[in-house]
C-alpha cells in the first residue's frame, strides 16, 4: 500500500527528538554541546515550510555549508522527499554555540518554539516530550 502526501490529513504531523550520542573531546566543557532538539514536521504537503533558516543555524556549527545538507532521501525518479520542520523545542541549549550573536537566530528559535506550542494546542495533542523540553526550558 502506498499513499501520496495529498491523501494525508493536513493536520498529519510527526516529531523527531535529536540527542547527542557523544561529545567531541575538544568540546567536552563547551556550553551547549549537550543540547537536545525536538523538531516538528508536517507529513502533509499542504503545510511544507522552508527549511533554509534552520539549516543556516545548524550549518553555523557544522563544517559543511547549508547547500550541501539534503532535506531528505532522493528517490529513483530524482524527487526529494523533504519533511521541513515547522516547530522546535530545545533543552540544555546554552551559550552561543547554537546562536550567532547579532543574528536573527534567537528570534527564529522563539518563532519555531511558538509554532510548535500553537500547533499542539490547535490539534489538541498532549506531547510529553514537548512538556519535558518546555518545563526544563533554558534557552
Report the phi/psi class of residue 124: left, alpha or beta, with left for phi > 0 and alpha for psi in -120 to 50.
left
Task: Look up the domain containing 51 and give its range.
Answer: 10-135
Structural domain contains residue 114: yes
Structural domain contains residue 4: no
Q: Residue 77 burial (CB < 10 Å; 0-12/13-18/19+)?
A: exposed
Structural domain contains residue 5: no
Structural domain contains residue 115: yes
pLDDT at residue number 117: 95
Q: Order of strands across the sheet with 13-18?
A: 13-18, 36-42, 85-91
Q: How many helices (H) and strands (E) does the chain have?
A: 3, 3
pLDDT at residue number 76: 52
Structural domain contains residue 1: no
Judged against a pLDDT cut of 50, whether residue 108 lies above it is answered with yes
- Residue 13, beta-bridge partner list: 42
Structural domain contains residue 15: yes
Count of domains observed in the chain: 1
Across 24-38, average pLDDT: 68
Give residue-wise pLDDT tens across range 41-87: 887 765 544 444 444 555 454 433 344 444 444 445 555 667 778 99
Band (pLDDT 50/70/90 cuts) for residue 116 is very high
Structural domain contains residue 28: yes
Structural domain contains residue 3: no
Across 10-22, average pLDDT: 82
pLDDT at residue number 50: 40
Band (pLDDT 50/70/90 cuts) for residue 121 is very high
pLDDT at residue number 61: 46
DSSP H or E segment with residue 36? strand 36-42
pLDDT at residue number 139: 47
Amino acid at each position: 500500500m502506498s499513499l501520496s502526501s495529498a491523501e494525508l490529513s493536513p493536520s498529519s504531523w510527526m516529531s523527531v527528538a535529536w540527542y547527542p550520542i557523544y561529545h567531541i573531546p575538544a568540546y567536552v566543557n563547551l556550553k551547549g554541546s549537550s543540547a537536545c532538539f525536538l523538531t516538528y514536521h508536517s507529513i502533509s504537503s499542504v503545510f511544507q515550510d522552508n527549511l533554509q533558516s534552520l539549516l543556516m543555524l545548524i550549518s553555523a556549527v557544522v563544517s559543511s555549508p547549508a547547500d550541501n545538507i539534503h532535506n531528505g532521501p532522493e528517490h529513483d525518479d530524482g524527487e526529494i522527499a523533504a519533511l521541513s520542520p515547522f516547530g522546535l523545542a530545545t533543552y540544555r541549549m546554552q551559550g552561543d554555540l547554537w546562536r550567532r550573536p547579532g543574528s536573527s537566530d534567537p528570534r527564529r528559535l522563539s518563532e519555531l518554539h511558538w509554532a510548535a506550542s500553537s500547533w499542539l494546542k490547535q490539534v489538541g495533542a498532549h506531547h510529553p516530550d514537548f512538556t519535558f523540553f518546555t518545563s526544563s526550558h533554558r534557552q
